[in-house]
């Protein structure tokens, strides 16, 4: 029956993990997968998460009932507040539909399915070049054609703002535009606040539908507010209203997918949310009902455990403050690794400019190495990274910095 099934290629990121596991070398370094590690290269369970889990385990009232299709009520409200801010007009006006979903990926798929079914027929989704590879799996499977917009300039290791604005201006009106809310994966290059304003201007002018993928809130800068700045800027925006010449046009419709994998370290618990910001409150009820129907067919209801933990943290100001401190500890270790790698490359005289390691933000650094150089590092030094030259700074530890810097020097000078 299945004799003709061709073997699918390994996932470029998760497949790398498998190769790493199979490598017997004691020298091996995994800079491929995007999960936080301590400086002792250990996975990290946040202290606040551990305590809540212990409480849940010892509480006889903890049950394992199904959640509703749309997820845990408290979690939905609090997750929306975290991303849109407590002063959000859309939240106050009850224009936001939120479903708890399966971390960032499941939330993206849910939104993609919804847009595929209810956004205008033939709408194209514009993805940044480059982007997180899974975007290219998710949207076409929901029947949405994807195209690229320019995002990154290899030469300057920075956002190609001119190319980006040109491509979004040339895209058919009312296209879907996927934007990384912060800590762009894989490049680590984010638009500046004034560039975000320019992006918003072109989105408004072309009446595009922005979809923010928010996988790193707090993780990029250590501040939940700063990392949600672009989302909040767009949420406050209105479409131009030429017919009335009034400044207060119709609110911009948009979507946000939110993951708690990184900022709460709840990777495997699949904690996340999909938010659709509607222009008017009257449409939220039918939109929610359709989102629920899609979720019901995909996975019926989301997992309870991680969302219960997250909701406790988000609800209690003391636990929240503790969480914020832990997020800052994680983000500052990443910043320290950036600095140490930069210094080591400078000190060992590696040719090239490496300032981008310092200016890029978030978990990843886009080193600017060729695929050939990446494979050379893997074969000779057992250093694993995706072949686009992306390294996870969170996978780097102080004791490996010199080894990595010397290996990079060898790769670029051989």
Residues 6+ apart with CB under 8 A from 164: 128, 149, 150, 151, 199
Contact predicate 170/150, CB 8 Å? no
Residue pair 235/189 in contact (Cβ under 8 Å)? The answer is no
CA dist., res. 178 & res. 103, Å (int): 17
Q: Of 344, 388, 368, whose CA–CA distance to 32 is shortest?
A: 388
The answer to whether 135 and 178 have CB atoms below 8 angstroms apart is yes
Beta carbon of residue 251, minimum distance to ligand PMP (angstroms, whole number): 25
Strand 176-180, strand 124-129: pairing: parallel
Q: Which residue number, 79 or 345, has a Cβ lying nearer to ligand PMP?
A: 79
When the beta carbons of 105 and 331 are compared against ligand PMP, the nearer one is: 105
Considering the complex, state which of residue 132 and residue 376 has its C-beta at the smaller distance from ligand PMP: 132
Q: How far apart are CA 188 and CA 190, in angstroms?
A: 6
Q: Would you give the distance in Å from CA 55 to the centre of its chain?
A: 30
Residue 10 vs 120, nearer CB to ligand PMP: 10
Instruction: Name the 3-class secondary structure at 211.
Output: strand
The distance of Cα 229 from the centroid of its chain, to the nearest Å, equals 14
Judge contact between 266 and 304, C-beta under 8 A.
no
Residue 259 CB, shortest distance to ligand PMP, in Å, is 3
Instruction: List, by residue number, the catalytic residues.
Output: 132, 213, 262
Give the number of other Cβ atoms within 10 Å of residue 188's Cβ: 25
Nearest residue to ligand PMP by CB is: 104
Token couple for 94: 């009850």
Secondary structure letter of residue 40 according to DSSP: T
Cα separation, 383 vs 393, in Å, equals 13
Q: Pairing state of beta strands 145-150 and 124-129?
A: parallel
Instruction: State whether residue 357 is helix, strand or coil.
Output: helix
What is the DSSP pairing of strand 96-102 with strand 271-277?
Answer: antiparallel
Give me the least distance between CB of 339 and ligand PMP, in Å please. Answer: 23
CB of 344 to ligand PMP, least distance (A): 26
Task: Please give the structure tokens belonging to residue 402.
Answer: 């010199």
**Which burial class, exposed, middle or buried, applies to 214 when counting CB atoms under 10 A from its CB (0-12, 13-18, 19+)?**
buried
CB of 190 to ligand PMP, least distance (A): 12
User: Minimum distance between the CB of residue 62 and ligand PMP, rounded to whole angstroms?
Assistant: 24
Between 180 and 338, whose beta carbon lies closer to ligand PMP?
Answer: 180
Q: How far apart are alpha carbons 180 and 150 in whole angstroms?
A: 13
Q: Which residues bind ligand PMP (CB under 6 A)?
A: 34, 103-105, 132, 180, 185, 213, 215, 259, 261, 272
Closer residue to ligand PMP, CB minimum distance, 11 or 55? 11
Minimum distance, C-beta of residue 332 to ligand PMP, in the bound complex (Å)? 20
- Min CB(221)–ligand PMP separation in Å: 16
Residue 202 and residue 162 in contact, taking contact as beta carbons nearer than 8 Å: no
Q: Which is nearer to ligand PMP, 251 or 272 (CB)?
A: 272
Query: 367 or 401: whose CB is closer to ligand PMP?
Result: 367
């Amino acid at each position: 029956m299945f004799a003709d099934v061709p073997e699918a290629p390994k996932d470029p990121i998760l497949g790398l993990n498998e190769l790493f596991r199979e490598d017997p070398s004691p020298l091996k370094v995994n800079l491929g997968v995007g999960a936080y590690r301590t400086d002792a290269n250990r996975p990290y369970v946040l202290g606040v998460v551990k305590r809540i889990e212990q409480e849940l385990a010892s509480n006889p009232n903890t049950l394992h009932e199904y959640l509703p299709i749309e997820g845990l009520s408290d979690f939905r409200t609090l997750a929306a507040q975290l991303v849109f801010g407590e002063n959000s007009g859309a939240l106050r006006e009850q224009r936001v539909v939120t479903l708890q979903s399966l971390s960032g990926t499941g939330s993206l798929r849910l939104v993609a399915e919804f847009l595929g079914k209810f956004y205008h027929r033939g709408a194209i989704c514009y993805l940044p070049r480059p982007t997180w590879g899974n975007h290219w799996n998710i949207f076409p499977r929901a029947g949405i054609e994807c195209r690229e917009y320019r995002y990154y300039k290899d030469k300057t290791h920075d956002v190609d703002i001119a190319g980006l604005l040109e491509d979004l201006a040339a895209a058919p009106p009312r296209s879907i535009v996927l934007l990384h809310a912060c800590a762009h994966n894989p490049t680590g290059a984010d638009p500046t606040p004034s560039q975000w304003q320019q992006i918003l201007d072109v989105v408004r002018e072309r009446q595009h539908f922005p979809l923010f993928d928010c996988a790193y809130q707090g993780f990029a800068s250590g501040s939940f507010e700063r990392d949600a700045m672009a989302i909040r800027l767009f949420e406050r925006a209105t479409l131009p209203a030429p017919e009335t010449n009034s400044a207060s046009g119709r609110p911009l419709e948009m979507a946000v997918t939110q993951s708690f994998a990184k900022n709460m370290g709840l990777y495997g618990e699949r904690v996340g949310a999909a938010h659709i910001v509607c222009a008017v409150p009257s449409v939220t009820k039918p939109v929610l009902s359709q989102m629920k129907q899609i979720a019901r067919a995909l996975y019926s209801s989301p997992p309870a455990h991680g969302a219960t933990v997250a909701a406790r943290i988000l609800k209690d100001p003391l636990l929240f403050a503790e969480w914020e401190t832990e997020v800052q500890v994680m983000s500052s270790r990443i910043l320290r690794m950036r600095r140490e790698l930069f210094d080591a490359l400078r000190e060992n005289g590696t040719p090239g400019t490496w300032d981008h390691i310092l200016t890029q933000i978030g978990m990843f650094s886009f080193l600017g190495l060729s695929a050939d150089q990446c494979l050379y590092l893997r074969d000779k030094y057992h250093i694993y990274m995706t072949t686009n030259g992306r390294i996870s700074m969170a996978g780097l530890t102080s004791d490996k910095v010199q080894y990595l810097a010397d290996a990079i020097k060898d790769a670029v000078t051989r």
